[in-house]
Structure 1
Amino acid sequence: MKAARSIKSVFENEAALCAAFIAALPEGWTAYPETAGFDILLVRADGAQIGVEAKMTLNAKVLLQSVDGMYSQWESEKAGPDWRAALVPYGTAGAEMQRIARHLGITVIECRAADEGDKEVERQVAMHGEFYRKFASRVCEPFKPELPSSDYPSWQREWVDHCPAERCKVPDYVPDVTAGASGPAKLSDWKVKAIKICVILKKRGWVAIADFKHIGIDRKRWLDMWWLQPREGMRGHFVAGRSPLDLRRQHPLNYAQIEADFEKWKPADAAPVAQEALL
């Protein structure tokens, strides 16, 4: 009987590929979707980072995205992750492109669809016999290679440490966005600050110039976009404008998290004394 060919993983799109990979992450790693210019920024418990770019096949485009900023003399001192990786479906990475990736210092991660590990185990057992099941279960992992760890020295064969001048800035909240999605709404540092202004506005009914200074965000854009308008009779105070900014709809989970942390970041004077407008 002719042996079955190795199963190639099939994903609907890059978002589904990223979701399967994130779901299979080992303990001690946190995935930050659409962060620091990567589809996924993985952060280990000790702060080590992996920048991951995902594509449906290993090609020149994903390799270029993975090394972005690494080799330019003007960008080499910018923040970056310790390791860089290209994430593709299992069985779709050609040997030639993998060798090129290796020369660039990019690790190729091949990820299986959720149920395909079990299918591959059964394929291996059918080929080699039931005694092979235990071994097949060990080699048919959700993705390969293993992520680098402080107590697993053999990872150095698969991962190139780029020793960045500084690591990527990690947001205070894990973005509630879809990794690998087309045109995702990113949770930028500006958006976190803007959500805080929205929370103050909701709780108090108005915001003051002092609130913008405390949060560290410019108020000019808020007035130009009519997100806010001057509060009648109160100098330096603002209320919701005719086109209020709705960040709760874009980031419902992050909005709720930031709102729940209000006591940690609120202005020292949560209700500053109003100043009457000059007549």
Structure 2
Amino acid sequence: MAKAKAVFESEAALCAAFIARLPEGWTAYPETAGFDILLVRGADGAQIGVEAKMTLNAKVLLQAVEGVYSGRGSEYPAPDFRAALVPSGAAGAELKTLASYLGVVVIVMTSEAEREAEQKAFAEKFGVSYRRAHVNDKPWFTPELPVIGYDWRRQWADHCPAERCKVPAYVPDVIAGASGPSQLSDWKIKAIKICILLERHGFVTIADFKKIGIDRKRWLDMRWLAQSEDRGRYIAGRSALNLRVAHPVNFGQIEADFDKWKPSTAEFQAALAPLPALL
């Protein structure tokens, strides 16, 4: 029986299929910390940096181990484990062996088309009952992710970073593996807060920028904001930044948390009083 070829339209489709089949307890952060996917285990914070490619090659291995063998890798935040995600049938034995030497686990993902073809072939040969058992037992990807209490060291090399990657406060609403992806950086989360304050109040103040912890100079240079008639107050500029469109899910989440990060009543009342005019 010939094995059906895995079919994914793109690296983004490959990543989406993988994320959809993650076991309970793992959270996928797309396009985070320089990886296509940063996986975080909820129980203890363990991380896996995943790079995705349509075929296992030298490029994806170099991306997966970036910083590890530079001589300075221990100085920077990094994940505990590193992996290359490829479709089933796209990983040669030689490169898989090389990946193992580098401490990179090759995760092989099965496509729905391959799975359906294989299930159909087994059903025709062994009957429908076997097909049902086959559906329930076969994993969507191999190997399995490391589990607490299980001896995973034979497959998963622990790189023991001095510090783990910083995880954003919100799971990025971006597409993992997309070409030229947008990232939900710490700066962008702060920028969204400024946008929300601008929407709610019609202006933002110097105090708002200090409260959020973001520099206002870039906003003025890029004409995202403009000086209002009142000193110290800024209104939307002619090239206003629209992060609600760029990050609709994250924008809504940060907006829902408004009471957690908004300026206090005293701070807002103080901001209502414009700075005295210059003589």
Normalized against structure 1, the TM-score is what? 0.92
Q: Give runs of aligned pairs for residues 140-179 of structure 1, distance below 5 A.
A: 140-153=138-151, 155-179=152-176
Deviation at 1:116, TM superposition (A): 3.1
Structure 1 CA distance for aligned equivalents of residues 127 and 175 of structure 2 = 41
Please give the secondary structure, in 1, of the residue aligned with 2:84: strand
For residue 137 of structure 1, report the CA deviation from its aligned partner: 3.9
Asked if 1:73 is matched to 2:71, the reply is: yes
Per-residue Cα deviation, 1:231-268 (whole angstroms, up to 9, x for no partner) = 20x22111111111111111111111111111001122
| Cα distance, 1:105–1:204 mapped onto 2, change above 3 Å | same
Q: Identify which of 47, 58, 61 aligns with 2:59.
A: 61
Q: Distance in 1 between matches of 2:63 and 2:69?
A: 12
Q: Which runs of 5 or more residues in structure 2 are unaligned?
A: none
- Map of 1:277 onto structure 2: 277
1:258 — aligned with what? 254
Mark the CA change 1:134 to 1:253 in structure 2 (over 3 Å): closer, same or farther: closer
Superposition deviation, residue 109 in structure 1: 0.3
Of residues 237, 241, 257 in structure 1, which corresponds to 2:237?
241
User: Is 1:184 paired with 2:171?
Assistant: no
Residue 92 to residue 128, structure 1, CA distance change in 2 (3 Å)? farther
Residues 130 and 231 of structure 1, relative CA distance in 2, 3 Å threshold:
closer
Helix, strand or coil at the partner of 1:15: helix
Alignment correspondent of 2:205: 208
SS at 2:153 equivalent:
helix
- In the alignment, what sits opposite 1:31? 28
Task: Give the counterpart letter for 1:81 in structure 2.
Answer: P
- 1:229 aligned to which of 226, 229, 245: 226
Name the aligned partner's letter for residue 195 of structure 2. Answer: C
Residues 129/205 of structure 1: CA separation in 2 closer, same or farther (3 Å cut): closer
Counterpart residue identity of residue 264, structure 1: K
Structure 2: distance between partners of 1:138 and 1:92:
24
Q: Deviations over 1:24-68 (max 9, x none)?
A: 011111110000000000011121110000000000000000000
Which whole-Å CA distance do the structure 2 matches of 1:100 and 1:106 have between them?
A: 9
**Which stretches in structure 1 are left out of the alignment for 5+ residues?**
none
Query: Which aligned pairs between 1:103-118 and structure 2 lie closer than 5 A?
Result: 103-118=101-116
Amino acid at match of 1:95: A
Aligned-residue offset at 1:156: 2.1
Q: Is the 8 A contact 1:208 1:237 kept in 2?
A: yes
Q: What CA distance in whole angstroms lies between the structure 2 residues aligned with 1:47 and 1:114? A: 30
Whichever residue aligns with residue 55 of structure 2, its letter is: T
CA contact (8 A) 1:117 1:141 kept: no
SS of 1:109's partner is strand
- Give TM-score scaled by structure 2 length: 0.92
Alignment partners' CA distance in 1, 2:132 and 2:154: 25
**RMSD across aligned positions (CA):** 1.8
